[in-house]
Amino acid sequence: MTRPDLGHSEDVNRAPLRPEINDAVRILTAAGVHSPRSDAEQLAAHLLGVERTRLAMHPLVEADFVAEYRALVGRRAERVPLQHLTGLAAMGEIDLEVGPGVFVPRPETELLFAWALAHLETLPHDHEPVVVDFCTGSGALALAVAHARPDARVHAVELDPAALSWARRNADARIAAGDTPITLHADDVTDPHLLTELDGTVDVLLANPPYIPSDAILEPEVAHHDPHLALFGGPDGLDVVRGMIPNIARLLRSGGVTGIEHDDSNGSALAALLREHGGFTDVVEHPDFAGKPRFVSSTHL
């Protein structure tokens, strides 16, 4: 008499994961999502609580997972940002909580972060670096710098109360994880009285300001979910930048550097503004992963 294979009876109520992911890819592709397979796999990994690279270790999933996964895929197909669905965005070696009311950090900003770390490495080892992050949003750049350089004094400035609440939440989480605290400032980066106590002391000033021209046509994830206060910078996208530049010059020490992210349509104009100011040298335009202009760096005289 043949005995039933009890060892596999629990698989009867489970479903293969890979066909679910393949269906999700088809749905997201039809919805116009730019990275359908990546997003489908990241959503699955999020629900399973594993790294995306370990999905193969979970060939079968429960019925509850399937229902929840299909619901998440449906929301992504409606062009809700992936990061709003997972609740997280990465910068450097840390994850940040994000959601409605705060700008979602982009992978391209990793280039600005890496540039800042490279410059900090050139400073004398007995020097306590001072770093300022303008328009910090979720706190991404400021907190990533503080994690990578616990010896630095990091200040972050944000005008929008909703975004600032996300930055505080992330800052508290990083303190709980053992990182050096940062100092958050609820202020306007164009205010001529901003951070006067730091005048002439800042080594690195980073900025990811509102820089999109007001008539730009945006993807639904951006237009409908990122706060407009964090996106638009006037007709040419440089209104906030124009107001920031005098403050940047005032705050930086001689030899201090700034890196300012910009729209791919206005990088040369931003570089020209820095040159015209007269207080900066070594103005360099930096491309992103796709070769598009992404941020401009310069050194204070």
Q: Is residue 124 part of a domain?
A: yes
Based on the structure, what is the number of domains in the chain?
Answer: 2
Task: In whole angstroms, give the CA distance from residue 55 to residue 3.
Answer: 33
Q: Is 197 a known ligand-binding residue?
A: no
Q: Is 170 a known ligand-binding residue?
A: no
**Is 145:131 a contact under the CB 8 Å cutoff?**
yes
Query: SS3 of 179, please?
Result: coil
Over the stretch 70-115, which tens digit does the pLDDT of each residue have?
999 999 999 999 999 999 999 999 999 999 999 999 999 999 999 9
Over the stretch 188-239, which tens digit does the pLDDT of each residue have?
999 999 999 999 999 999 999 999 999 999 999 999 999 999 999 999 999 9
pLDDT at 72: 98
pLDDT at 125: 87
Q: Is 210 a known ligand-binding residue?
A: yes
Task: Work out the number of other CB atoms within 10 angstroms of the CB of residue 124.
Answer: 7
Q: Is the model's pLDDT at 5 over the cut of 70? A: no
- Ramachandran area for residue 132 (φ above 0: left; ψ -120 to 50: alpha; else beta): beta
pTM of structure: 0.92
Over the stretch 47-61, which tens digit does the pLDDT of each residue have?
999 999 999 999 999
Q: Is 221 a known ligand-binding residue?
A: no
CATH number assigned to the domain comprising residue 173: 3.40.50.150
Query: Is 189 in the same domain as 63?
Result: no
Q: Is 129 a known ligand-binding residue?
A: no
pLDDT at 4: 45
Average pLDDT over the chain reads: 95
Query: Is 146 in the same domain as 286?
Result: yes
Q: In the chain, helix, strand, coil percent, each to 5?
A: 45, 20, 35
Query: Is 121 in the same domain as 265?
Result: yes
Q: Is the model's pLDDT at 10 over the cut of 80? A: no
Query: Is 169 in the same domain as 67?
Result: no
Which run of H or E residues covers position 109?
helix 109-120
Query: Is 153 in the same domain as 57?
Result: no
Residues 6+ apart with CB under 8 A from 270: 238, 241, 260, 262, 296
**Nearest to residue 210, comparing CAs of 160, 142, 135, 286?**
135
Over the stretch 236-271, which tens digit does the pLDDT of each residue have?
999 999 999 999 999 999 999 999 999 999 999 999
Q: Is the model's pLDDT at 12 over the cut of 80? A: no
Bridge-based pairing of strands 293-300 and 88-91 is unpaired
Query: Is 106 in the same domain as 58?
Result: no
Task: In whole angstroms, give the CA distance from residue 22 to residue 41.
Answer: 9
- Which residue range forms the structural domain that includes residue 219? 91-300
